Chains A and B, each alone.
Chain A
Amino acid sequence: MAGSVPAELSSACADVAAVGPTDAVGGKQAQYVAAPASTAEAAALLRAAAGLGLAVVPRGSGSRLDWGQAPTSCDLIVDTRRMDQVLEHAAGDQVVAVQAGIRLDELAKVLATAEQRLALDAPSSSDGVSGTVGGLIATGAAGPLRYRYGSPRDLLIGITVVRADGTVAKSGGKVVKNVAGYDIGKLFAGSLGTLGLITEATFRLHPLPEATVWVMLDCPDSATAASAVRAIADSPVVPSAIELSWASATAPISVSALIEGDADSVAGRTDRLRELLDRATAGQSSARTKRADDRPGPHTLAGGGAADEAFRVLRPLSDGREPTGTLVRVAFWPGQLTAVLTAIRAAADAAGLDPAIGGSAGAGVLEVSVRAEAAVEAVADFVAVLRAGLDGLSDGLPPSRASAVVLCAPAAVRDSVDMWGRVPSLALMRAVKDQFDPEHRMAPGRFAGGI
């Protein structure tokens, strides 16, 4: 329903409008969309929104706007599209400062001109829309490079945020080594917009590798796949990624390693790894290599085939349209890969499902994709049985060693399933939320524990 924009908002921000058809979050239609062009304008906007008691949800490219539970209310979407500048690229110091609305692929182009990269390769949406830097931080999204370089929080060295009441705050700075003060950047990483709006971020960069090669092999079962993953991890070749792709219960499991560096170095390490893998899998599967066609960037899953298809379907959607399936992220201790794969398949069997499984097996993170056609009850059963299975993986220290979080799901599934599962220290998280957003107006209800 389009209404007129309150004067408080339009005097704070030059670009505010009543909403269009795609301005919704989790099916909740907002009332207004504002696009501030600077931190100062964003601060004025949030201050005005606070005065009006509006619920606020930040939005980047919208490619992962459907992550998390649907917010309980959403009055104002703050779109970061006008904050899309590179503020400072200090190539000699291997550091870049950007506005949060810059898209990852745009940033990659700028950095590549200096033979550098931000080592984050979270996938783009299925129609090729890349996430924004702010969105990547807020969702904690990552890709195969997380094995070697971590997720956004590991590369973030400085951040500027605007709190719900319009206060601007920064932490960290422009240098990689910095322990002055608390790390608000880490706190905001993965927070899904519930603590405030990210407006600027500074990252540590790495040299762009001259050559990149994937070494891939197909394994007949999860035990073989796990020993392949382990062999790669234990090898001296220092891979940048160790991925796994398993399209369905009856398909072989594809394991891949990404080798990057100078051309000579990559050639030598690739040969070494192939020999090693042939020995480790006792000739059951033979390693082949595939040269990556483009410069490293947001990756498609290695392996190709049906799993890739499943994930392509479930790749983030731009414009925050309804997800076309359910995506579950399973995090675990890397040594328990076989048990985790078994638990996923067992839970799927129990629910009558046959999902695709894929992700950074070496780092202990996998995603499970369940297509939209699956019945809501089946998805709910799958998640419940999976969580029970993962609970069994801990000996008590710590109390849980694995988690299954539903990242996104169609509305009917969101309404029936606890998307977050058990979360350690939820009480402390609530206390943090209460301090940062006492009126609970930043993406309320989207986060764990109904935060």
Chain B
Amino acid sequence: MYDSAPIDDQLAIRLARICGADGVISDPQELRTYECDGLTAHRSCPGVVVLPQSAEQVAAVVRECVARRIPFVARGSGTGLSGGALPRADGVLIVTSKMRSIIAIDPVSRRAIVEPGVTNLAVSKAAEPYGLFYAPDPSSQVVCSVGGNVAENSGGAHCLKHGFTVHHITGLQIVTPEGELTWLGDGTTTAPGYDLVGAFTGSEGTLGIATKIIVKLTPIPEAVTTLLAAFTTMGAGGAAVSAIIGSGILPGAIEMMDALAIEAAEAAVQCRYPEGAGAVLIVELDGPASDVEAQTAMVRAICTAEGAYEIRAARDAAERAAIWTGRKSAFAAVGRISPAYIVQDGVVPRTALPRVLDRISELSAEHGIRVANVFHAGDGNLHPLVLFDDSAPGEQEAAEKLSGMILDLCIEHGGSITGEHGVGVDKSRYMPRMFGADDLDTMQLLRCAFDPRSLCNPGKVFPTPRLCGEVPGVRRAPHPLVASGLIDQF
């Protein structure tokens, strides 16, 4: 029923007419550059790649795909960690990296209008002269694109206090999966009608492609203090976190790393965290100067009371960056101490953190698989890094199994399978552990409203797609989308 047209020279010619000759990539060697995003375990070579330079070009490409019933996938900077931008061999990969213009900054309204390929950090850099910054700050912010951030509803270390991407998006121009250009919202906080901006943000590229993004900018806080505290055990570090939050302080960021993660970071970037630390805590406090001063004193006192044996405070921007270097490099850094790894993104209620970390440690010992822990302690978002040797038979499967057990642990404690990386292809098979069939069916009503033809990033997020207009019920034949090869079913 999907009679997709093939990806052939004819299509490439039509795409070149839309995007220009150097806006289309068909050469097999070059296509391989795009075969995965930040999740390298899943690879698939795209049928053809286009690099449009405008919203109109994106819309025209999508209309071409619709006319030929060809599925399409959008990709920003390709840093995603759930395979959301994993391309399809039978599809078009629409890469937004040439759309990187910051169209306008309105400092009085605290808005900026940017194209999807603009990097996250570039927005903050452009806003800085006005005393403003763009608050959501994923660790990959030097490279990751705002369009990708919108798709994933990206978080970052500072989102406990400052919110996630969805709290900072006030309007979107999108290309719908039918190939039309339309605006969702209008840059105000309260546009009339349904909150389609809120529904689109975090929809992982399945409801259309954002081509202009109106972001909210935030005043740069008057003062920032960054503290690094070293503890001999994770338990002590966790107790300090609870006490800090319990005191009523809302830190700008509060991060934790365990001994293994510290070892990796040291090997990679020589961050020189205190020796012998079982856990380090990075706490950032921001706000009015007098408040920050008072809170810093309180946090120091709390850390000391919980047994911190060394506390460092950054005295300038360079020292602040130095403290963060270890944390921000952590994922890549484990590559120094292990040939391969799986990074998870589970969330548990903050008060469950100590139990969950203990249990992860038990599981790691039971299965003989090392797990390094890096996490946003303030909001219970864990990033267990499950280490394995991909050249040793059976280790990858064992590591994946342990990863799954960790996600189950998160769900058991009332948490989530993903706090910020998204579901993509990586975790779609876990969705039924978190949501019932009716929950997933209801979410997919939204998908059917936007993408009735199932051409827009199909096969992502939901393990079993819903045919739009179908009545749920007992199936006897293979799902038509499986039969046509458009998706795999787990």
Contacts and interface: CB of A to CB of B under 8 A. Distances in A.
Contacts of A92: 242, 246, 349-351
Contacts of A82: none
B184 A425 contact: yes
Contacts of A176: 160, 379
Contacts of A111: none
Contacts of A233: 219
Interface string A322-341: 00000001011111100000
Contacts of B414: 173-175
Nearest to B214: A398
B442 A178 contact: no
Interface in A355-384: 363-365
A252 interface: no
Interface string A141-165: 0000010001101100000010100
Contacts of B440: 181
A334 B110 contact: yes
A398 B187 contact: yes
Interface in A300-356: 329, 331-336
Interface residues of A, number: 87
A234 interface: yes
Interface string B429-455: 001001110111111011111100000
B351 A90 contact: yes
A190 B194 contact: yes
Interface in B391-439: 414-423, 427, 431, 434-436, 438-439
A264 interface: yes
Interface string B88-109: 0000000000000001101111
A237 B291 CA distance: 9
Interface stretch (A13-21, A47-55, A276-284, A399-407): A399-407
A434 interface: yes
Question: Which label, helix, strand, loop or mixed, suits the secondary structure of the A interface?
Answer: mixed
A186 interface: yes
B107 to A, nearest CB: 8
A93 interface: yes
B183 A187 contact: no
B10 interface: no
Interface string B187-228: 111111111101101110000000010100001011000000
B442 A167 contact: yes
Given A95-B349, A401-B187, A175 B416 contact: yes
A420 B427 CA distance: 40
A50 to B, nearest CB: 14
B449 A431 contact: yes
A266 to B, nearest CB: 10
Given A92-B242, A170-B439, A397-B212, A424 B189 contact: no
B241 to A, nearest CB: 11
Contact of B198 (A169, A186, A262, A269): A186
Interface in A172-228: 173-184, 186-187, 189-191, 195, 206-207
Given A261-B291, A333-B106, A398-B187, A187 B349 contact: no
A440 B446 CA distance: 16
Nearest to B163: A154
Given A180-B423, A187-B194, A420-B192, A167 B443 contact: no
Interface stretch (B35-43, B164-172, B310-318, B477-485): B164-172
A189 B449 contact: no
Which interface residue of A179, A237, A238 has the most chain B CB atoms within 10 A?
A: A179
Given A154-B163, A186-B198, A333-B111, A423 B184 contact: no
A333 B349 contact: no
B368 interface: no
Contacts of A175: 347-349, 379-380, 414-416, 419
B185 interface: yes
Which interface residue of B106, B192, B214 has the most chain A CB atoms within 10 A?
A: B192
A421 B417 CA distance: 41
Contacts of B434: 173, 180-181
Nearest to B381: A177
A331 B188 contact: yes
Contact of B192 (A163, A171, A403): A403
B398 to A, nearest CB: 25
A429 B461 contact: no
A115 B376 CA distance: 24
B288 interface: yes
B445 A179 contact: no
B8 to A, nearest CB: 32
B441 A432 contact: no
A86 B5 CA distance: 55
A22 interface: no
A445 interface: no
B346 to A, nearest CB: 10
B159 interface: yes
Contact of A403 (B186, B416, B421): B186
Given A363-B189, A435-B445, A335 B109 contact: yes
A333 B187 contact: yes
A268 interface: yes
Contact of B349 (A90, A261, A427): A90
A180 B418 contact: yes
B294 interface: yes
A178 B445 contact: no
Contacts of B347: 175, 177-178
B289 interface: yes
Contact of B431 (A150, A180, A268): A180
B202 A182 contact: yes
Interface string A37-68: 00000000000000000000000000000000
Nearest to A186: B198
Interface string B283-309: 000011111001000000000000000
Given A398-B171, A420-B193, A435-B468, 14 more contacts: A167-B442, A178-B418, A179-B423, A182-B443, A183-B166, A184-B442, A186-B166, A234-B131, A333-B111, A335-B106, A424-B186, A425-B196, A432-B194, A436-B442
22 contacts: A93-B349, A115-B248, A154-B163, A163-B442, A169-B443, A171-B442, A175-B416, A177-B155, A177-B420, A181-B431, A183-B198, A186-B198, A187-B446, A238-B221, A264-B294, A269-B288, A335-B106, A335-B107, A335-B108, A401-B188, A420-B193, A424-B193
For the complex of A and B, 5 pairs with smallest distance between CB atoms: A186-B198, A335-B108, A335-B109, A169-B442, A236-B222
